Amino acid sequence: GAVVSQHPSWVICKSGTSVKIECRSLDFQATTMFWYRQFPKQSLMLMATSNEGSKATYEQGVEKDKFLINHASLTLSTLTVTSAHPEDSSFYICSARARGLDRQFFGPGTRLTVL
């Protein structure tokens, strides 16, 4: 089956620093990637949708200048949390979808802790 990986699986950083999270589709070409955020004991909330080679579409309330998304190739998307603060601590999950498919394949998630 299709595999999506995320790196790193967990990261701890100081307030004010930037953190980059990678999402890779290992055995298929992902024309669309999605980034979700999940706070403890809550559901997944879609942050943004990115299509290869074009700018990401952000959901309402998500700061595009704070959460920079780059979908540089058909197998890689990155999420950069800029000037991270403790309230950005969360579980970030990406998913990938190939053209024409009606399902997404989820990565294992990245736990971000901002001190």
Site for other proteins in 73-112 (CB under 8 A): 91, 93, 95, 97, 102-104, 106-109, 111
User: What Å distances lie between residue 29 and 9, 39, 45, 67, 110, CA to CA?
Assistant: 22, 29, 24, 23, 21
* Angle (CA) 6 7 9, round 5°: 90
The maximal CA–CA distance of the chain, rounded, in angstroms, is: 41
> Tokens 């809550």 identify what position?
42
Give the x/- contact pattern for other proteins in 23-62, rule: CB under 8 A: ---------x-x-------xxxxx--x-------------
Nearest approach, Cβ of residue 16 and other proteins (Å): 26
List interacting residues with other proteins (CB under 8 A): 4, 6, 32, 34, 42-46, 49, 91, 93, 95, 97, 102-104, 106-109, 111
